[in-house]
Amino acid sequence: MKELYKNNNDYYLSFVLNGENFAINVSLVLEVLKIKKIVKVPLTPKYLKGLINLRGDVIPVIDMRMKFNFPEGVKKKEKIIIIIELIIIKKTIRIGAIVDSVKNVLKIKENEMENVPYSSSNYDNTFIKAMKKVGKNFIMILDHYKIFEKERKNVRDK
């Protein structure tokens, strides 16, 4: 998928979590998989579900519902893993993100994005880069670096 959109940052893969619409830049997405066997790793954050073997590569897998503090919800076998590739401090890392379902690829230009409204409550919107109104609904466009901040620090420390 990444290869199809590598020269255009206006495309976003949309997906659903807890009934809400989210999107991440498609240039980061390597592939989308059905849920597969995840090997648990002891003493890791609750949202880090474990590791998968993807054609010989070991990929850490994060449950996005837990990362965003949503209730568990969808049955395990119905969930999807989005494999994301990030370049952090000249190192390439791959992370699997478990989501409820994947919708489609959308073209969203920078000038079509709206700022995230300020919230003074306990609501943490730091993972959201921008929003896009589609009909009566919103798609929350995620800031991938902020979502995977702890994973970035782990790479930096090695």
Task: Provide the CATH number for the domain around residue 59.
Answer: 2.40.50.180
More confident residue, 76 or 16: 16
The per-residue pLDDT for 52 is 95
pLDDT band at 49 (very low <50, low <70, confident <90, very high): very high
Instruction: Show the domain range for 72.
Output: 2-157
Q: The pTM is what?
A: 0.82
CB contact burial 56-84 (16+ within 10 A = b; e otherwise): eeebbbbbbbbbbeeeeebeeeebbbbbb
Number of structural domains (the chain) is: 1
Model pLDDT, residue 77: 64
The distance from CA 29 to its chain's CA centroid, rounded to whole angstroms, is 9
